[in-house]
Structure 1
Amino acid sequence: MSKHLVPLLLAILAAPAAAEEVEFHPFDPAKAEIGRLLFYDPILSGNRNISCGTCHHHKTFSADALSLGIGEGGAGVGPERTAGTGDDAIRKRVPRHAPALWNVGATEFETFFHDGRVSVSPHYEVGYDTPAEEWLPEGLPNILAVQALFPMVAQFEMAGNPRENEVAGAVHDRVDYAWPILAKRVRTIPAYGEMFVRTFREIEAPEDVQIVHIAVALADFMGSEWRSLDSPYDLGTMDAAARRGGILFRDKGCATCHSGPLFTDHGFHAIGLPPFGPGRTRRFDPTARDVGRMAETDDLADAYRFRTPSLRNVALTAPYGHNGAYPTLEGIVRHHADPAAALAAWTPDLAKLPAAPWLEAVDFVIHQDAREMARVAATIDLAPVPLSDAEVADLVAFLGALTGGASRHGRLGRPDAVPSGLPVD
């Protein structure tokens, strides 16, 4: 029996103490307050039109409620977000689903992003393997601070397109060239400059503020804002259906990958989710595909494998899968029960994609590539597991019992205004 299954069984049958089992990185409340403002401030985007909070909003429980996100150029938040118009119309959907941020400050997280492209590693002599390679700034205290750097320099998320702004232009040359530009934007806003001087001991004047300080503030906010370990599962108040579902969760093998108090092994698995959207392509990819972890490791054994998500608050953060392929918990549970059959039966109407007629030719083009679809199906790691309708319902009830109480709304919440004076989504 896996070392994770024994504590899980005990947790199902008795009131667990998950909060005592999870260790978090320490945070400074004053730095977290700066991070809260920066998280919702569009000043960190190339065109000053999107913030971290746009796709990880309190309104949608730290996710965005879309299958594939609408990054810079769009308007609105959550299910109401649109793809923009005219010159502001998006050129590409964000290739993957925006993950929820629950408990990301836990020290057990050593990889981030669906493909693990940010990970703790001895590579490049900076302690982390990232898209910045050896150009990662020094002084980042933990992997959450490292992760915070990359959405703001991603073209279709926050940076914008080359020749649109100086940030995107710098990223086009080399990723680390953009961070000093963003740091200068922040420190030259008097309110931010004063807060950094007051809060960081090593900062004597606003001109000392660097991107590392911004990343630390963002990490202290994210790591403290979305801690959630107060669910019925934690409190021992699950109803009968959830208790039955918890036993099924163990007996049907769900806990093999969704293990531990955060319900993730932090590993990478191929479960045959139906591909769609622009794909996270590499320069030599011939089609709009997403090969998952393999794109980072260049190892064929990693093809179509994606990081196991935590299941905390999963009932609040639909749709599900690395590309948001399923709008309901029932759908993703049934997919896990028989991935090959579910892949074959999946239909595009299940994807929640804001209308963008100019992108429709690409949205589902991958389904016309019989060889690529066959490759996705051939790599599935999960064997079929028979589930009755009643068992599916009990599993869904158990997943619902992982929903936090007051914690679901965050600790500080969304600010009404930010020092840049830009609109807050």
Structure 2
Amino acid sequence: MNNANFLRAMALVTAVASLPIAAQHKPLPPPPPGQPQPNSALDDELSQIMRARGITGRVAGAQQLPRISDPIAQLGMQLFFSKALGGEKSVACASCHDPRLGGADGLSLPIGTNAVESDVIGPGRQAVDDDINIPRNSPTIFNTGFANNALFWDGRVQRVTITDDQGNESSFISTPDSGFNQPDVNAADSLVATLSRFPVTSREEMRGEAFESAETNEQVRSHLAQRIGDYGDEAGGLATNDWLQAFREAFNSQADAQTLITFDSIAFALGQYQASFVMVDTDWHRYARGDRGALSVQQKRGAKLFFTPVAEGGAGCVGCHSGERFTNDGFFNLAFPQYGIGTQDNQADIGRAAIDPSPRNQFAFRVPSLINVALTAPYGHAGAYESLEQVVNHYSNPELTVEQFFQRGGACGLKQFSLTAQCDTLNLQARENSEAALALLRQSPFVAANLAPQQKQDLVAFLHALTDKCAKDQQCVRRWVPNRRTPDPDNLRLHAQR
């Protein structure tokens, strides 16, 4: 111990000795953040769990993803917030995926082209005549650059890997344009860039009633590229158009608009922007890298429950939410409440089975990453649960938690629809469809975790430890939001209001 540390230690001993006896026995405050923490028995148990599961606290691939300061990511940001990519120039990508709302929209079910006020985002966004016409909750765009298996709730944009007779692997991307398990020759190189090709073609999400002459998705995209590039059938489609200069600067090219501004380049820029959301600096990951003070004792108890199988007294969450990203990238039926317009004639949403009708895919949805999950309520494919507590209760007792959802009024009990005149229409067939999903869950390997109230609280506390420090900091996430100095090439930027 050097002299300075010795003098500080002696001063502390003297100060404690001068206190009344009762005060001397009060616990000392924890060391400041960043200081070494002594290992507890719980820390030792978690260390064993992490070693057994190969957890390092480092998410592979983060260094290879673009940064928001990159020129093409900046162009992608301008496009992401421009309503010019909406067919009727009334909706932007950011209308349902705002960085300030956890990369989503804070709604149970999103509202796209039929919003009452186009610039209102989040819980205040309302649909014309309360007409909800999109069946699924908006997923977060945070960390989508890490996805290498599938995107969308049903995984309809998917990377398919095949192995030949010699054991050599190759892969392609399958999309709704190509059909399930078939290569889409127009797909981008990455899933996140390919993802950007589809919301713009949906009448409910972004297209609206524009481009009536377009008979295919590719024709819709061509119209949008011509609009942004100010050429072809859409020349003059924007009253203000400085996009060519923006593309030339981002791509460092002096090519003409028809060469440079294609939908491929638009999708690439949008993909670079979304992939730049590297939001994995969480308390848990710092703990896994050795900072034993990064988690509270309650969060450590929750972590142990999370990683321990149900058969051993844990919650068993790791069965699906595994690895550094907390997902196995698979599909599973958890029988979250069915309500809303669904995807079928009976208003059911059968999930993955709509594109791959295997029995195991009935009511199955993509297992999301849990990183930043505390920021992305409401939860589930239709946003039926408004808190993490409700989600944890579902894993403990699905039948009871679904019944409680309906006792609260089903759709009418959700904040988004509680004051709407049409909420009862979202409950049509909801109980029957929910029971169908529950019946399949009972036949699956799923085993409910019998958790005590304190254990549930511990588990929720741990889930809060999976939040990136930037993602929850409004000042930090503003780097992904255009500011006054950011060029506005078409004067159609979404000026979000809440």
Q: 2:174 pairs with 129, 148, 153, which one?
A: 129
Larger relative contact order (Cα-Cα within 8 Å, sequence gap ≥ 6): 1
Q: What residue ranges of structure 1 are gaps of 5+ in the alignment?
A: none
Partner of residue 29, structure 2: none
Partner of residue 267, structure 1: 330
Q: Which amino acid aligns with 1:212?
A: D
The superposition leaves residues 112-155 of structure 1 with CA deviations (integer Å, 9 ceiling, x where unpaired) of 000001101279x9922111117956372211110111111112
The yes-or-no answer on 1:204 pairing with 2:255 is yes
The superposition leaves residues 84-135 of structure 1 with CA deviations (integer Å, 9 ceiling, x where unpaired) of 3xxxx574332100011221111x4320000001101279x99221111179
With the length of structure 1 as denominator, give the TM-score of the two structures: 0.87
The whole-number CA distance in structure 2 between the counterparts of 1:219 and 1:91 is: 30
Structure 1 residue 359: Cα displacement = 4.0
The superposition leaves residues 319-355 of structure 1 with CA deviations (integer Å, 9 ceiling, x where unpaired) of 1111111111000011011212322332225434357
The whole-number CA distance in structure 2 between the counterparts of 1:111 and 1:363 is: 28
The whole-number CA distance in structure 2 between the counterparts of 1:21 and 1:193 is: 32
SS of match in other structure, 2:325: coil
Q: What residue ranges of structure 2 are gaps of 5+ in the alignment?
A: 1-44, 163-169, 231-239, 288-293, 309-314
Percent same amino acid among aligned pairs? 28
- Aligned-residue Cα RMSD (Å) equals 2.9
Q: 2:103 pairs with 62, 70, 77, which one?
A: 62
The yes-or-no answer on 1:291 pairing with 2:350 is yes
Q: Which amino acid aligns with 1:292?
A: G
With the length of structure 2 as denominator, give the TM-score of the two structures: 0.74
Q: Which structure 2 residues correspond to residues 9-408 of structure 1 after superposition, within 5 A?
A: 9-10=49-50, 16-19=56-59, 24-26=64-66, 29-74=70-115, 75=117, 76-84=120-128, 89=129, 91-106=131-146, 108-121=147-160, 127-133=172-178, 136=184, 138=186, 140-160=188-208, 164-166=209-211, 169-170=212-213, 173-188=215-230, 190-200=241-251, 204-208=255-259, 209-224=261-276, 226-236=277-287, 237-251=294-308, 252-281=315-344, 286-347=345-406, 348=410, 349-354=412-417, 357=420, 359-367=422-430, 370=432, 372-380=433-441, 381=444, 382-408=446-472
Structure 1 residue 190: Cα displacement = 4.1
Greater Rg by CA? 2
* Count of paired positions: 402
The whole-number CA distance in structure 2 between the counterparts of 1:420 and 1:69 is: 25
SS of match in other structure, 1:121: strand
Which moves more between the two structures, 39-48 or 342-351?
A: 342-351
| Residues 112, 103 of structure 1: alpha-carbon distance in 2 compared, 3 angstrom cutoff | same
SS of match in other structure, 2:368: coil
The whole-number CA distance in structure 1 between the counterparts of 2:187 and 2:450 is: 50
The yes-or-no answer on 1:415 pairing with 2:482 is yes
Q: Which amino acid aligns with 1:344?
A: E
Instruction: Report if aligned partners of 1:194, 1:206 keep a CA contact under 8 Å in 2.
Output: no
The whole-number CA distance in structure 2 between the counterparts of 1:77 and 1:274 is: 25
The whole-number CA distance in structure 2 between the counterparts of 1:292 and 1:81 is: 26
The whole-number CA distance in structure 2 between the counterparts of 1:135 and 1:386 is: 44
Q: Which amino acid aligns with 1:165?
A: A
The whole-number CA distance in structure 1 between the counterparts of 2:171 and 2:265 is: 17
| Residues 51, 11 of structure 1: alpha-carbon distance in 2 compared, 3 angstrom cutoff | farther
| Residues 25, 34 of structure 1: alpha-carbon distance in 2 compared, 3 angstrom cutoff | same
